[in-house]
Each structure stands twice: as C-alpha cells, then as structure tokens.
Structure 1
Amino acid sequence: MPDKVPCAEQHQQQVEPGREKWGSEDLLCKNRPIWNLPVASRTAGMEFSNRALLAGWEMLPEKTPGKEETSPECANLLPGGKEIEDIHLVFFKKVNISNGTVLRLHIVVREEKERNGERQYQIFLYFVCAFQNISCGIHYLASVFLTMSPQHTCRPPGNVSQVLVRNISSWRLDDLWTLFSAGHEDRVVVQLQNGEIWELTKCHRFRRDNKSSLNYDYNGHKTSFPCSDGYVYDQSKWNSTVVTEWDLVCNREWFARLIQPMFMLGVLLGAVIFGYLSDRIGRRLVLWSTSTGMFFFGVAAGFTFDYYSFVVARFLLAMAASGYLIVVFVYVTEFIGMKSRTWASIHMHSFFALGAMMVALMGYLVRTWWIYQIVLSTVTVPFVLCCWMLPETPFWLLSEGRYEEAQKVVDTMAKWNRASSCKLSELLSLDLNGPVGNKTTEVKKHNLLDLFYDWNIGTRTLTLWLIWFTGALGFYSFSLNSVNLGGNEYLNLFLMGAVEIPAYMFVCLGMDSLGRRNILIFSLISTALICGVIMVIPKDYHIWSVGVTMAGKFAIGAAFGLIYLYTAELYPTLIRSLAVGSGSMVCRVGSIMAPLCVSLSSVWIFMPQSLLGILAFVSGLLTLRLPETLGKPLATTWEEATKLDAAKDSSSGELFPTTNNTVLEEREVINSEDSGLSE
C-alpha cells in the first residue's frame, strides 16, 4: 500500500465536521489506523457493528493523540517480520463532531496472514457448528421417504383362496405389484374361502353377486363397499412408511400431504421464537437447547402412536431445527472475520446439502420408517455431546455488560491460536460518565411500512419478496419432486443435494467478479428455461429428466444462497435486519407451499414446473430493475439506499468504492436523536 500524507496533514484535509461518510483513505494513515481524530470529545457509548472479535488477530490498542508510531503495548502484540494486510472493523465508539452530530468512530482490528494455525479456534468452532447443519438438512427433507405412498389395493374382507389378475390365477395377493406398477392393471379379482368373489381397486372394493364363475371380466351386478379392512401395500421398496402405518391413502391422502407443510409451519414459528431468544438469553444457550430438542423430538417422532402425535413431534422438531439454523448463522459470523465471513456463511448451506444426501443414503439402507427416523436423529448426538464446549460470543457478552466473561473467552481464543491476548478493559477504554454515555435518547421504532419508504424502495421490497418466495418454492420443490422423476429415487435425491455444493461455489467465486444482480438474473432466468425443458422431455427418458432437474436445482440453489447477502446490501442500516427478516418470513411461506405445489402433479404432471417456471421468469425480469451492489459500501441512510438506483449504470457518484478487493464495513453517521438504533 503506498504511503499517504502525514497523519497530521491528513486529519486537517480529510476529517471535517459533519462529513456523512468516510472513504478507505480516511481509515488509514501510513497503513495504520487513525486514532487521533480532531474531535470534540470521546465518549463511552459503546456499540458494535461487525460482531467479530478474534483474539488470534493482532488488535492495535488506541494510540496517544499526536503519536504515529506503534505504541509499546501494540509492539508487544506484533512479533517482528509478520505481514499485516486486511482491515477488519470490529466495533466503534460514538464521537461528538459538531452541531449535535454523533460520528461512530471505528476501532480497527487488522488481520495477520494465516500462519501456523493462528485461526484454529475459529476453524474448530465453525466446523462443530456446521456439522449440526447436516442434521437440519436431514430433518427438513426426511419426509421425502417418510411419506412415500407405495402401490396399494383394498384388503379383502376374509381369507383369500385364489387370486386372478388378467386371467392369471397362480399369483399370490402380495405379488401383484409388478403388473400394478407397470400400469397394466388397476384391479384384482379374488375368491375368498367362503366362495365370495371380490374386485379390489386402490380405493374401492366390489362384491359380485354371481359366485358361479371366477372370471376377470364381469358384466353382472356388483355391490360397492369402502375399504374398511385397510389396504394391502407393496413392500418391495419399503417395509413401512407413515402412509402405510396409518393408511394415509385415498380419502385420507390429504393427511399425508399436510405432514411437510406442518413441518415448514414449525420452521416459521421456530425462526421467530428462537431468533428473539438468542438476543435475550444468548446464542450458546439457544444452540444447546435447539440441538438437544432436535435429538429428543426426532427420536420421539419415531415412537409416536398415531398420526397426530407424529405431526406434533415433527412440528416441535421443525421449531428446534429452524431455531438452530437461524442462530448458528449469527453465532458463526460473530467469530469469523470479515475476509472469510461471506464464504463461511454461504458454505453453511453446503452442510445442509450434505444432510439431504444422507437422507437418500439412509433411505436406501433402512426401509422401516420409525427405524429410519431414529437413525437420522442420532446424527445430532456428537454435537449434543460437545456443544457444552462452545463459548458465548464476546459480542453478546459485551453487549450485555458481562466484560469479565468476554475477557475469558478472548483469553481462551488467544491460547488456542497461540497468540497474545488483549485486555478488553484497556482496548475499550470505557468511560461511563462520558457526555454521550449519560445522554438518554429515544429509540425510533421501525416496522414493515418502512420497507415501502418511497416508490423505488417499495418496488424493490416487493421484488425481493417475490425472489425469496420463488427461491424457497423452487429449492424444496426440486428436492421433494426428485423421487417422482423415475429411475432410482434414492440416487435422484442424493444428486439433488450434491449439486447444491458447486452452486454455492459458483456464487462465492462469481459474486465479486460478475456482480450480485447479474448472478441472480442468470440463475432465475435459467431456472425458468430449465422448467420449460423438463416439460418437453419424454416420460421414459429418466436420465435426461434427472440431469435437467439437477441443472434446475443448481440454478435455484445459487439464487437461494445469494439472496440473503443481496437483500442486506440493498437497504440502509436502520432497517437492514427488518428487510432480511421479512424476506425470510416470505421464504418460509414458499417452503410451506412447496409440498402442496408438488402434489399438484396429480392434476397435471407438469403443473409444478409450470408454476415455478413462470415465477422464476417474472422474478428474473424484475431483478433487472434492482441496483448492483458490487463495489458499493453498505448504505447507512435512506438517501444512500435510493442513490443505489441512480448508480446502477455508473460506478461514479458520491458512493465511494472499495479498494484492494476488500469489502469495507459501513461507516455510519447518525443524528443524535437516532443514536440508539443498532443493526
């Protein structure tokens, strides 16, 4: 990095009262952070913007005003010869500038090049937490085989002495499924030991009045009866499923179709409840309780005694799994540095995909539904046994004023990373009697109406909601429908999970070169085109159907993985969490609708692909109206958010670019009456 103007001159030239944003040049002074800004006073009002505090990184303590050289304390933390490169903004102080404006002065943490396993503690935490994501993926898609509906026919009302299918009378009743599955016949004629002759179909049975001859074709009178004695199921693929356990076929088929939507409803409720609890009682306790709940309710679902208890157990399981997924993303990002945060967050989805692959493997190996459910639930056990080792995040502890506990966590991290620790009390320099520290401010509340601040923001919100809905609908529809593509249903689902991993790699590699919006448009339009291609593939071309469906899952998976980040970058700080949260809620609605969409194939075989293709195409066209956020800082005000639209086709303007391929954190200037707001 080239030398810059001397610090003293730089302060005079660049730091002006009332400036609305800082450029990257303002953050550095001869490759060192500027601490001696010409401000009226420093205060103790501590807030945290980055949610990352890594003791393994070199933390530069605050310098004495007027000095440019590294302080002795800092020198002790920086062994000679080690190269420092990336800047990470971890937290900031509020600083009075003038005219009542409060500037958030960031304290800078700079990351050393990765050497000698100096991030091993963060890596350990990441993979421990990511492993549990496998369990989440398992339970989200376990219903694919739990609710399999095999070939079936009404059970006759007595003991069978002879079976007749297409005038072949040497078959046993349990061996009829070759003809049934081939679509040759949909009925069977049986003669009972008492001489009665019955015609059996999937959902009805008929007693012939004429008992004199056993013929397949019969034109005489017959009486219809309901299937009150149950059904005979094809057990060539599954010994039992929840469908065969409680006869969820024919007029009870809709009970089976409600199992996955009810699970997704639990996902929606769990995201709301545990997201709130994680801010109240801490991330660690929520991770422990949700992972334990996943094991307990997962095993309990395998021991349920009727349909309703099974649905309740799965509903509670969904709440726990959703709560874990929501909180673990926050937990991981509060430990992972800015340089790796995007990759780490997106690849958490890859472990979810591994869960889908494991569902396919277990479905192939275990063919009894309750054993299958219990075996899948045991994947949670390793995390439950070691989750007590997970620390609370320093960010949450500091936000709660528990400084001693935060210091212990930082010391532990430093010990694991073989780095010198730092004293938070000195680094934070808390002065609770500062002028802003004693100033009480009214916190402005925000609601969904703020997402419709003006016409441009409102249309942006509706477009993003449509993308969220389409992404969730397509993501789960492709997976749930994979068993209906023909061929080996276990291999189909395995491939639908495996193709997600390169999709996330594509997003990570392409979003910083091709742009977020361009990748999103490409993914959505590709999904629409692929849905059209699926509709013209002949029914017997199973390999082609699976291959094209994999391409569709790749495309929608890329869009689904990117929309989280893209939504956050399109809104200002004061409603960013609200925007992502609202999109997540719309996403849950899409996931609830996905199994219902798949069931529409009974109306028309290509109805799911038609609906998804139309939604994806419309979403892709509307995305053309959204601004590109690549190379732009995060917006902090409504003015900056609306200017993103004006800057769609130009990289110039007041929005400053990032440098050295480093994504800069938001530089926030807030009015004094809004100083209580936090991201």
Structure 2
Amino acid sequence: MPNGFGAFTLVFLMDIPSHHCLVLDVNLTEDWRKTTIPIMVVNGKQELSRCSRYRLDVVRNLSAHGYIPGRDVNLTDLEQEGCVDGWSYSRDIYQSTIVSEFDLVCNEQWKQPLTSTVFFLGVLVGSFFSGQLSDRFGRKPILFVTTAFQTIFTFAQVFSNSWTTFTILLFFNGLGQMSNFVAALVLGAEIFTGNVRVLYSSLGTCLGFAAGYMLLPLCAYFLRGWRSLLLALSLPGLVYLPLWWLIPESPRWLLSQGRAEEAEAIIRKAAKWNKVQAPRVVFEDYSINKTKTHQKENSNAFDLLRESNMRITTLILCLVSFTMITGYYGLSLSTSQLHSDPYISCFISAAVEVPAYISSWLALRSLPRRWAVIGTLVLGAVPLYLIQLVPQNLSDLSLVLKMLGKYAITTGSSLMFTYTAELYPTVLRNTATGICTTVSRVGCCLTPILLKLSLYSKYLPYIIMGTLAVVSAFATLFLPESFGRPLPETIQQMHKRERIKCPCIGRKGTLVPTEHLGSSL
C-alpha cells in the first residue's frame, strides 16, 4: 500500500497550476491592470500568457497619461518582459504544489521532468542493490530497512526549503520505493505454498498496491497542499513497526545459508499457530546427525549470466519486464486526463487495475505462466495498434482502447512478479527479481521521453509500445514453464528444468510437425 501511495504522488506534487506574471504595481487603472498580461492562443483557446507581461514601466506611464488600452494604444506594439516579480498561481485546485512553491515554470520548467527522473533513478538504484542485499542478509531486514527509507525521507521532504533539497530527498525516497515491494513479494512467495502463494503474489501484493493508488487521490483531495499531503503519506509507515515481531524470516533463505536450526524454529512456530503436529526432525537433509550436512551456497548477480540457459532466461525476463513497465507507466500517464478533475482521473486510472489483478490471480491459478504472459502482451498490443485507426470524433472509443491496453499490461505486470520468482532458485531469487525490476525501471525513466514523441507523430508512442509488446511476446516462447512445479532451491535444480529451445525445432534439429507443436512447448 505505501508503494501505491508513492508511485504516483508526483502526479499531484508536480502538477502545474494555472499561472501568469505577478503584477505588484498598484498605480494602474482597472483597464490597464486587466490588460498587463498578454493574451495567447494555446491549443485553439485563449489564455493569459504564463511567462511574459507588457513592460510595467511603459504600462505605468501610459496609465498615468490616461490612455485606454485597445483604443488609444495598440497592445501588439508594446514591448514585453519576463515575470521579473514572480508569478501568481491559481488556487482553484491546489493550495500549493512543488511547481508553485519553487517556481518551476518558464525558464525553470526543465526541472519538472528532471524531478520525476531523479525519483525513478532512485527506484532503479534501490531495486538493483536491494535484491542482492536481500539474498545476502535476508528478506526480512531488507524489507524493513527499505520501508524505513521510504517513510523517513517522505517525512523529511515536508521540510524542504529548496528544489535541490527536495530532489535529493526524493532520490533517497525512491531507494525504498518498490524495493520493499519486491522484498515482501519474494518473502511471501518463499513462506507460502500452493494456492496461498499464488493468492498472495497476485491479489495480496497487487491489490494492496491498487488500494494505496486509489487512496492517493482521496488524500490529495482533502489535503490540497503538498507539504500536508507528504506528511499524511509518511505516517502509515509507522504502522509497520510492530510487524517486525510478527513476520518471520524466509525458512528457504535460512536453509540456503546453512541455518537449519533457525528455519526449523520458524516451522515449529507455524505448526503451533496452525495447531498441527510438527515431525520430530523437520529437515532431515539438514540434520546435524547426517554425514552430509548442508553447505551454504554462495551466489551473486554474475551467476545470472554465467550459464547459457540462465543467461537467456534472465535477458528475456528483463525484456518482458521492461516492456510491461514501459507500457504500464506510458498508458497510466497518457490517461491521466480522463476527466477534467485530476482527482477523478487518478482514481479511474487506479480503479482499472483492480479487475486486472483479479484476472492475474485467476490466470495464475489455472493457466501456464508462459502462455498467460504471451496472451496479455498480445491483448495489450492489439488496441495500441488500433488506436491510430479511430476517427477523431470517436474519442470515447480511443479511451476504451487505451483502458483495454492498460488492463492487459497491468495483468501481465502482475503475472511477471510471480513468474520471475518461480523460475529462480532460492539463492538467486531476490537478486534475479531485483535485476529484472531494475531493468524495468529504466522504462519508467524513458516513459516521459517516449510520450514526448507525440509532438512528432500523435500515435508514435502507442506504435512503439505495441511493437515492444509483440517482440516480447515472441521472446516469451523461449522461457521455461513453472506452472505446477515446486520452487527450485538450488541452481542445479533450476538447470534440471526443460531447456530453452525454439518451439519449431525438434531435438535433432528437424522441423516439428505443426500438429505436434503444442507438445514441443
């Protein structure tokens, strides 16, 4: 839920209120006061210029001599100047935003996209290192450390007195964002089994994210100032402190580190909670009485690229994850203006994710992972290609296609979290999930640039996202299947799974007949 709050907080923090140059001079007639700001035509509509005004000394002189604007003076002949006295911001929607607080407009407008990029860079760095740290020091410590990072730096941003300070704190805030999401996902996937694991990995985590996402516009609606909104979003982090004594460490990770006694203690505690009788020896293979004791298996991120099958699996998962997240943020940001009210727009965009996550859960329960991911990619690509064929007067149809695309991509993004966690062994699971998440976060950083391409061609961003989806769907054919199979504990167990091969080529290099294509997969 905190990730649902934080992922799109910048939608409100960085929104740009209506503004124009501030006019402090009071020695002006009412006519001149109304016409000091030039009228501009933007997207076919007239509005006050945001970054210029008529030279105030000239206007003051004309007003003192009793000239009437538009009758005695042609306004187009007057010289203009920048907003030397600052800006006046509308408070119809927001009391304040980062933009109005630090004047990130006109010549400083470049700081707006940079702020978002810095945040996503923090998410990227956090995702990269948290996975490896989690595999080294444990799932539980990293989960709570990254949650603390997110809470502390969100709170610290409330006291920012400059854009630079705010941006630096925002980067550290991003270190915790999604890092705790991935740590919690892997921890739950390793503690739970069977349908409970599927329920937690899909509905548990993703609906929690959607709930936080939908609560964001509600909080923003009642808290119109950016400082009060950040303060409210930082407080829920305190609720998680008592969970340290309730959430156990992953027994699978403990076993991978040779800490069988600690893992056995957790299992016995679970047996007591569930009122079942634990066996006298829980982990026979790890018993100290056995001659072959379990040895700690040391692994690192380079193991993901060392062996050919694992290398191909990692690269394909990175491509698919990149495509999913690029499409998710691209469609989320492009549908942010579904309604004239930004709070309703945000809520609609969040609400669409609920049926997507439910669909993901149903697919995880009954469908092979590989074909479920391919289906969502194709379903997401088709409406993105069809958007450019919709006539201009059927804007509602374009909206439906966009939302269908987001529904499919959101479903696929949820599937990928579980699919990735199921493919890798315990010693590399968090590292692999973190690496794939890191690569996918590159898509977050590139999304604003991708959407800017609409200036050259209105539908170019949709064509690129659709093409990425088609390429990723084909690449997914070469991934191994994990549906209905136990989680691999070691790298050797992962190697025993079906080898990655072209679905159209038989074992001896001969073409497989079409009627046997399904079995070859």
Of stretches 636-645 and 283-292 in structure 1, the one that deviates more from structure 2 is 636-645
TM-score, normalising length: structure 1:
0.64
Instruction: Pick one of 495, 499, 509 that aligns with 1:637.
Output: 495
Structural mapping, 1:530-609, within 5 Å: 530-535=383-388, 544-567=397-420, 580-601=433-454, 606-609=459-462
Q: How much has 1:260 moved relative to structure 2?
A: 1.9
Partner of 1:485: 338
Label 1:341 to 1:579 Cα distance change in 2 as closer, same or farther (>3 A): same
> For structure 2, which runs of at least 5 residues remain unmatched after alignment?
507-511
Paired residues of 2:127 and 2:178 also in contact (CA < 8 A)? yes
- What secondary structure is seen at the aligned counterpart in 1 of 2:228? helix
Q: Does 1:379 align with 2:240?
A: no
Q: Does 1:290 align with 2:146?
A: yes
Query: 1:113-168 deviations in whole A, cap 9, x for unaligned?
Result: xxxxxxxxxxxxxxxxxxxxx0111111111111101222122352374566xxxx
| Distance across 2 between alignment mates of 1:498 and 1:530 | 19
Instruction: Pick one of 28, 36, 47 that aligns with 1:186.
Output: 47
Paired residues of 1:283 and 1:327 also in contact (CA < 8 A)? yes
Structural mapping, 1:143-292, within 5 Å: 143-156=10-23, 158-159=25-26, 161-162=28-29, 184-187=45-48, 201-207=49-55, 209=58, 211=62, 212-215=67-70, 218=74, 221-292=77-148
Structural mapping, 1:66-145, within 5 Å: 134-145=1-12
TM-score, normalising length: structure 2:
0.81
| Distance across 2 between alignment mates of 1:643 and 1:305 | 57
Partner of 1:315: 171
Instruction: Pick one of 206, 212, 217 that aligns with 1:360.
Output: 217
- What secondary structure is seen at the aligned counterpart in 1 of 2:54? strand
Q: How much has 1:356 moved relative to structure 2?
A: 1.2
Of stretches 233-242 and 636-645 in structure 1, the one that deviates more from structure 2 is 636-645
| Distance across 1 between alignment mates of 2:290 and 2:483 | 41
Q: How much has 1:290 moved relative to structure 2?
A: 2.4
Q: Does 1:507 align with 2:360?
A: yes
Of stretches 630-639 and 494-503 in structure 1, the one that deviates more from structure 2 is 630-639
Label 1:388 to 1:260 Cα distance change in 2 as closer, same or farther (>3 A): farther
Partner of 1:612: 465
Q: How much has 1:245 moved relative to structure 2?
A: 0.7
Answer 1 or 2: which has greater strand percent.
1
| Distance across 1 between alignment mates of 2:450 and 2:362 | 32
- What secondary structure is seen at the aligned counterpart in 2 of 1:483? coil
Query: 1:2-42 deviations in whole A, cap 9, x for unaligned?
Result: xxxxxxxxxxxxxxxxxxxxxxxxxxxxxxxxxxxxxxxxx
Partner of 2:376: 523
| Distance across 2 between alignment mates of 1:599 and 1:302 | 30
Aligned length: 498
- What secondary structure is seen at the aligned counterpart in 1 of 2:332? helix
Q: Is the radius of gyration larger for structure 1 or structure 2?
A: 1
Label 1:278 to 1:171 Cα distance change in 2 as closer, same or farther (>3 A): same
Label 1:544 to 1:287 Cα distance change in 2 as closer, same or farther (>3 A): same
> For structure 1, which runs of at least 5 residues remain unmatched after alignment?
1-133, 188-200, 656-679
- What secondary structure is seen at the aligned counterpart in 2 of 1:214? coil
* RMSD (Å), alpha carbons: 4.0
Paired residues of 2:384 and 2:463 also in contact (CA < 8 A)? yes
| Distance across 1 between alignment mates of 2:497 and 2:190 | 29
Amino acid at match of 2:53: R
Paired residues of 1:143 and 1:260 also in contact (CA < 8 A)? yes
Partner of 1:466: 319
| Distance across 2 between alignment mates of 1:521 and 1:137 | 26
Paired residues of 1:291 and 1:384 also in contact (CA < 8 A)? no
Percent identity among equivalent residues?
Answer: 30
Q: How much has 1:629 moved relative to structure 2?
A: 6.0
Q: Does 1:418 align with 2:279?
A: no
Label 1:522 to 1:640 Cα distance change in 2 as closer, same or farther (>3 A): closer
Partner of 1:71: none
Q: How much has 1:577 moved relative to structure 2?
A: 6.8
Q: How much has 1:283 moved relative to structure 2?
A: 2.7
